[in-house]
């Protein structure tokens, strides 16, 4: 793999941004970082992500997205979409 894969991250707050960055940077391929964070989406809080989640899900048809959100009482992330 010559270049790392561009990744868009979506998060609730600064703490979750840090967590995502840490996780993403740990994913390696042949000793090099597999992903690089190219864009970040955050509107402050859970409501912002829930409101726009369908948009991010649809945009992931074009490139890789990583969304970190509190599932609260939902069993599965996909339930947030419907």
Partner 1 sequence: MIISRLIVKNWKNFKSIDVELQERVIIVGANASGKSNFLDIFRFLRDIAKPGGGLQPAVIEERGGVSKIRSLSARTNPTIEIEVHFSEFGTRDVIWKYKIGITQESRGGRLQLIKYEKVSDKNGKVLFERPNLDDEKDKKRKTQTYLEQINTNSEFREIVTFFEKTLYLHLVPQLLKYPRAFTGPDLSGDPFGRGFLDRIAKVPEKTRNVSLRRVQEVLKLAVPKLKELKFTTELGYPHLEAIYEHWRPNAGKQQEDQFSDGTLRMIGLFWALQEGDSLLLLEEPELSLNGAIVSKLASLIYKLQKLKKRQVIITSHSSDLLQDRGISLSEILILEPTNEGTVVKTASSIKEIQYMLDEGMTPSEAILPRIAPNSINQIAFEFQ
CB of 80 to partner 1, least distance (A): 13
CB of 67 to partner 1, least distance (A): 13
On the CB side of 76, CA atoms within 13 Å amount to 4
The binder of partner 1 chosen from 17, 46, 66, 69 (CB under 8 A): 17
Question: In the window 23-42, what residues touch partner 1 (CB under 8 A)?
Answer: 37, 39-42
* 50 touches partner 1 (CB under 8 A): no
The binder of partner 1 chosen from 28, 58, 70, 77 (CB under 8 A): 58
What DSSP line would sit under 48-71, residue for residue?
A: HHHHHHHHHHHHTTTSEEEE----
Whose CA is closest to 79, among 52, 44, 46, 53?
53
């Amino acid at each position: 793999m010559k270049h790392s894969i561009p990744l868009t991250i979506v998060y609730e707050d600064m703490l979750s941004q840090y967590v995502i960055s840490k996780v993403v940077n740990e994913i390696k391929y042949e000793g090099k970082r597999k992903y690089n964070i190219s864009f970040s989406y955050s509107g402050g809080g859970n409501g912002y992500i829930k409101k726009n989640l369908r948009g991010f899900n649809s945009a992931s048809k074009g490139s890789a997205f990583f969304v970190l959100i509190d599932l609260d009482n939902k069993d599965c992330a996909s339930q947030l979409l419907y």
